[in-house]
């Protein structure tokens, strides 16, 4: 789907809802059909009771609809019915059975529609979130996103399956009830009707006022989830710094605000429902008294009086429900808006006619500058260098000098505007390539490896699910992970826990290296990947790597000079700029920053 058509689809709440209803609409339609059947069958009962009462007392049922009179004639006339009252009972039982069946089907289709809706919506939203750019994720709280994917979808589901669906019951009920009431006694019906705009108007006024409060409540809940989520993922940091009390207070404070908020909201709602009870009670009282007066005057038979009151009570329920539906409309509206905010986020997209060239050529960074949207200054400032295909480039630089950013740009995790320079591989601008193609050819061992809560083997295999066990073993051997794995009781089946918490920092880094080796991509990036292993293991891994990187172009970022001194070319960065460039030997001769760092590190080693 193109971005423009996607965004126009999510421009309005209705458009968003229609989009998510794809797949579940048919079930809701079936549910509505059976709702209508139940409503209709419900409406017949008071008429039968009124008829039975009146025919027993002996009133002439001439005001019955023609087809009913014909039906009565066909079964043997009024006299027959009077003597065979069981026939009427039979009719009532048949109606009850039909009603039960319709009710079952209504509920069944309703539940199916609701659950299908939730399933489709979750899948759509999740898929969209996965395709959103990294910058979007940087500006949104995980807890809040999770809340939108769970409780907001749930709110919309309840609204659709309970409130909106009952609208199809409420409106016909009201129309039918008023029609029947009109046929029984028009003036009395008008009196009953007078209360309706009052009740609907009151509830509309109340609920339009309360809409913003619901939005605020949702936002507060999102903030609360965000704190909980952050604390659960960062539990070790919280413990290590003895910050439990601080975090607990922070959580409790938010929790109290949230609770107070809901209590206030519920108090308002309770007051509303109470006054609503009074209002509808007044309506029923008025109609019952007026009806009694009319009946005593002889304008209304006993049976009709009962039927009229039954219809009036039947009609009051939907009128009151209408208010509740309006209430939930604003609540659901808020939730739809919150999903809409996710859905209008622009997905990462390739340019039209994106290409998929071979990626084994020279890599050229040409006047690359970069600034984060939320950043004040340039993270990279006019960076230009060239890497020969199959060679190794070492990147050295102070913390925050832009090394990782440079690699994220190469992988297009951050998109680079053409105005801010270009990165080409084999002469083709990476912005003109298919992102998936580019990324599948670049193996990144991230500075902070992220492991999933699966087995070690599954983690190593993550980039190439088809890899055989021998390949996994070979990758583990090169990454010097084999020894550690052998020591684990479950070997390759060891469960690594959430984000790899059961592994040491060095083991995590080596798992990440193995992850990449299994793909053997033509471009390999090691972003500070050997920082958590000792110098000796570092040397052993590098040696093993050099035999397996083969013809791949390698980017080696490190703070330890010994890690990258054998690279074909070394780049020294400082505050987003390249300050020195060359081989180890030529940089040593320059007596610049590289030499200074080298001398410092060597002096340190001697001390050790």
Ligand X SMILES: Nc1ncnc2c1ncn2[C@@H]1O[C@H](COP(=O)(O)OP(=O)(O)OP(=O)(O)O)[C@@H](O)[C@H]1O
Q: Which residue is nearest to Mg ion (CB)?
A: 404
Contact indicator for 479, 511 with CB cutoff of 8 Å: yes
CB of 401 to Mg ion, least distance (A): 9
Residue 591's contacts (CB-CB under 8 Å, 6 or more residues apart) are none
| Nearer Cβ to Mg ion (286/447) | 447
CB of 573 to Mg ion, least distance (A): 11
| Residue 368 φ/ψ, nearest 5 degrees | -85, 125
| Nearer Cβ to ligand X (376/551) | 376
Which range of residues in 314-322, 441-449, 492-500, 572-580 is near Mg ion by CB under 5 A? 441-449
| Nearer Cβ to Mg ion (405/422) | 405
Q: Which DSSP state fits 417?
A: -
Binding-site partner at residue 374 among ligand X, Mg ion, none, CB < 5 to 8 Å by type: ligand X
Work out the burial of residue 545: count CB atoms within 10 Å of its CB; fewer than 13 is exposed, 13-18 middle, 19 or more buried: buried
Q: Does 531 bind Mg ion (CB under 5 A)?
A: no
| Nearer Cβ to ligand X (113/397) | 397
Rounded CA gap, 426 and 357, in Å? 8
Residues contributing to the site for ligand X (CB under 6 A): 138, 372, 374-375, 379, 397, 399-405, 447, 528
Q: Is 525 helix (H, G, I), strand (E, B) or coil?
A: strand
CB of 528 to Mg ion, least distance (A): 6
Q: Does 447 bind Mg ion (CB under 5 A)?
A: yes
Binding-site partner at residue 138 among ligand X, Mg ion, none, CB < 5 to 8 Å by type: ligand X
Interface with Mg ion in residues 308-347 (CB under 5 A): none
Rounded CA gap, 408 and 400, in Å? 14
Rounded CA gap, 37 and 169, in Å? 9
Rounded CA gap, 72 and 84, in Å? 12
Contact indicator for 562, 538 with CB cutoff of 8 Å: yes
* Rounded (to 5) percent helix, strand, coil in the chain: 70, 10, 25
Binding-site partner at residue 480 among Mg ion, ligand X, none, CB < 5 to 8 Å by type: none
| Nearer Cβ to Mg ion (201/505) | 505
Contact indicator for 349, 3 with CB cutoff of 8 Å: yes
How many residues in total does the chain contain? 608
| Nearer Cβ to ligand X (125/226) | 226
CB of 158 to ligand X, least distance (A): 37
Convert 72-93 to b/e letters by CB count within 10 Å (16 or more is b). Answer: beeeeeeeebeeeeeebeebee
| Nearer Cβ to ligand X (377/551) | 377
Q: Using CB under 5 A, which of 173, 404, 511, 549 touches Mg ion?
A: 404
CB of 557 to Mg ion, least distance (A): 7
Contact indicator for 169, 35 with CB cutoff of 8 Å: yes
Binding-site partner at residue 139 among ligand X, Mg ion, none, CB < 5 to 8 Å by type: none
CB of 561 to ligand X, least distance (A): 14
CB of 600 to ligand X, least distance (A): 16
Q: Does 120 bind Mg ion (CB under 5 A)?
A: no
| Nearer Cβ to ligand X (416/484) | 416
Binding site for Mg ion (CB under 5 A): 404, 447
């Amino acid at each position: 789907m193109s971005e423009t058509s996607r965004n126009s689809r999510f421009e309005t709440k209705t458009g968003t809802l229609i989009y998510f209803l794809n797949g579940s609409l048919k079930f809701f339609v079936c549910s509505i059909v059976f709702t209508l059947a139940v409503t209709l069958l419900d409406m017949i009962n008071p008429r039968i009771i009124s008829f039975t009462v009146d025919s027993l007392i002996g009133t002439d049922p001439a005001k019955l609809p023609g087809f009913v009179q014909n039906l009565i004639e066909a079964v043997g006339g009024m006299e027959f019915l009077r003597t065979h009252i069981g026939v009427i009972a039979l009719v009532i039982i048949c109606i009850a059975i039909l009603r039960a069946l319709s009710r079952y089907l209504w509920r069944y289709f309703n539940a199916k529609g609701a659950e299908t809706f939730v399933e489709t919506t979750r899948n759509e939203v999740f898929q969209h979130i996965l395709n959103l750019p990294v910058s979007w994720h940087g500006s949104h709280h995980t807890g809040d996103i999770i809340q939108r994917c769970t409780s907001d979808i749930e709110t919309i589901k309840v609204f659709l399956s309970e409130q909106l669906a009952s609208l199809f019951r409420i409106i016909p009920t009201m129309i039918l009830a008023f029609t029947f009431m009109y046929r029984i006694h028009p003036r009395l019906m008008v009196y009953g009707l007078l209360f309706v705009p009052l009740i609907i108007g009151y509830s509309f006024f109340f609920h339009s006022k309360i809409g913003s409060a619901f939005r605020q409540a949702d936002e507060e809940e999102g903030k609360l989830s965000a704190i909980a989520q952050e604390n659960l993922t960062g539990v070790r940091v919280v413990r290590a710094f003895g910050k439990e009390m601080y975090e607990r207070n922070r959580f409790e404070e938010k929790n109290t605000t949230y609770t107070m908020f809901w209590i206030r909201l519920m108090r308002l709602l309770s007051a509303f429902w109470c006054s609503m009870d009074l209002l509808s009670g007044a309506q029923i009282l008025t109609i019952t008294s007026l009806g009694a007066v009319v009946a005593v005057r002889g304008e209304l038979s006993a049976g009709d009086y009962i039927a009229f009151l039954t219809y009036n009570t039947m009609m009051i329920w939907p009128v009151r429900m209408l208010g509740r539906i309006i209430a939930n409309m604003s609540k659901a509206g808020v939730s739809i808006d919150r999903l809409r905010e996710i859905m209008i986020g622009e997905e990462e997209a390739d340019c039209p006619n994106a290409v998929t060239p071979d990626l084994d050529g020279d890599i050229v960074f040409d006047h690359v500058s970069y600034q984060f949207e939320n950043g004040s200054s340039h993270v990279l400032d006019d960076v230009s260098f060239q890497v020969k295909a199959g060679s190794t480039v070492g990147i050295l630089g102070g913390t925050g000098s832009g090394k990782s950013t440079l690699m994220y740009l190469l992988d297009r995790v951050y998109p680079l505007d053409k105005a801010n320079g270009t990165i080409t591989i084999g002469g083709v601008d990476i912005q003109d390539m298919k992102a998936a193609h580019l990324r599948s050819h670049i193996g990144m061992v991230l500075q902070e490896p992220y492991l999933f809560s699966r087995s070690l083997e599954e983690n190593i295999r993550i980039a190439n699910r088809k890899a055989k066990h021998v390949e996994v073993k070979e990758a583990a051997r090169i990454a010097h992970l084999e020894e550690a794995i052998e020591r684990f009781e479950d070997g390759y089946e060891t469960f690594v826990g959430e984000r790899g918490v059961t592994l040491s920092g060095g083991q995590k880094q080596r798992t990440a290296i193995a992850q990449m080796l299994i793909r053997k991509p033509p471009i390999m990036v090691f972003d500070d990947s050997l920082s958590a292993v000792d110098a000796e293991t570092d040397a052993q891994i590098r040696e093993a790597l050099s035999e397996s990187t083969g013809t791949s172009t390698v980017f080696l970022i490190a703070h330890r000079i010994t890690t990258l001194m054998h690279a074909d070319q070394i780049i020294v960065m400082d505050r987003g700029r390249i300050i020195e460039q060359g081989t180890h030997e030529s940089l040593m001769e320059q007596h610049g920053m590289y030499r200074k760092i080298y001398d410092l590190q060597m002096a340190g080693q001697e001390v050790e």
